[in-house]
Amino acid sequence: MDANAFTLPFQLTKAMHRDVYPATDPSSPSINTSGKIVIVTDASGGIGSNVGKAWSTAGAKAIILVGRDVAKIETMVKELKLENAVVYPCNMTVAEDVDSLFKSVQQKYGRLDAIVNAAGTMGDAKPIGEANIAAWWQDYEINVKTTFLTAHYYVKYFEGKGTIVSVVSLAAFLSNPNSSSYSPAKLAQIKISELIGLEYPELRVFSVHLGIVEAENSRGTVIDMFTPFAKDKALATGGISLFLSTPKADHLTGLFLSVNWDIEEVIKHQEEILAKGLLKPVALRARLGPNGHPWTT
């Protein structure tokens, strides 16, 4: 069985990565984060914990690890021996909680260099008629509302300067049965990030596909089905978030990216990418206009 069967078909760059590499290696001096402050949401999860690990390795001044399960985050901090980690209890779907989080960071540090939205969920993967309503809607609460709230309070307290990285999925662009909550929620997340980039040009805003990550069984049957192809390392998301927090990524703001793509190859071709809108979500392929679509039949 080809472990790259669900990765190669979605490659933008010739070079493919399933782990960190020189440009995204947290130990690389080129992406050192000395003096930087970062917030990582869903820090107890596999992606969030590895993002925290990456920023710790890169030398961040403070890594604010956010989540509802404080005990689990604290255990993770000890296990990974994270330097400069600060655990902060917060429900990222509650505006008052998120407001308090950003206000606290502003008062304590006076700055925020980046936030990585690692929170995500895949609700009831069933046909709409069989889906649990609360579980279905939760995908929008966690994937979409948190993206809005983090950006809203980032701008409020830090004047729209810094980096926002939202962890998304290529599933946003796929139409598969039983994904009526997850795929549209991820697409909305990507579109919101694009618009934030347009509204606040001094913010670096990115949507990053996490790949097919080695997952625990508790994450559900949909993930389990892809176990033979789950070769992407969670640390890869942390590594790319470090690169995207540097000025090298300035011109990529608002775009969709993937941990599997070679970021230096993307930078090399950024003029073509921007001119042709290659990495922006497109809703319609029809050529709309005063004369209608140029039909061929």
Per-residue confidence (pLDDT) for residue 10, from 0 to 100 = 94
Averaged pLDDT for residues 79-93: 94
Query: How far is the CA of 255 from the CAs of 16, 61, 76, 185, 293, in angstroms?
Result: 19, 27, 31, 17, 27
Per-residue confidence (pLDDT) for residue 223, from 0 to 100 = 60
> d(Cα 77, Cα 84) in Å, to the nearest integer?
10
**pLDDT value at 47 more than 60:** yes
> d(Cα 77, Cα 57) in Å, to the nearest integer?
13
- Reduced to 3 states (helix: H, G, I; strand: E, B; else coil), residue 117 is strand
Tell the CATH topology of 8-276: Rossmann fold (3.40.50)
Q: Could you tell me if 226 and 213 are in contact, meaning their C-beta atoms sit under 8 angstroms apart?
A: no
What are the structural domain ranges in the chain? 8-276
**pLDDT value at 222 more than 90:** no
Per-residue confidence (pLDDT) for residue 27, from 0 to 100 = 98
pLDDT, tens digit (0-9, with 9 covering 90-100), for 132-149: 999 999 999 999 999 999
> d(Cα 72, Cα 227) in Å, to the nearest integer?
25
Per-residue confidence (pLDDT) for residue 292, from 0 to 100 = 86
Residue with tokens 């409020």: 156
Q: Could you tell me if 203 and 164 are in contact, meaning their C-beta atoms sit under 8 angstroms apart?
A: yes
Averaged pLDDT for residues 250-265: 97
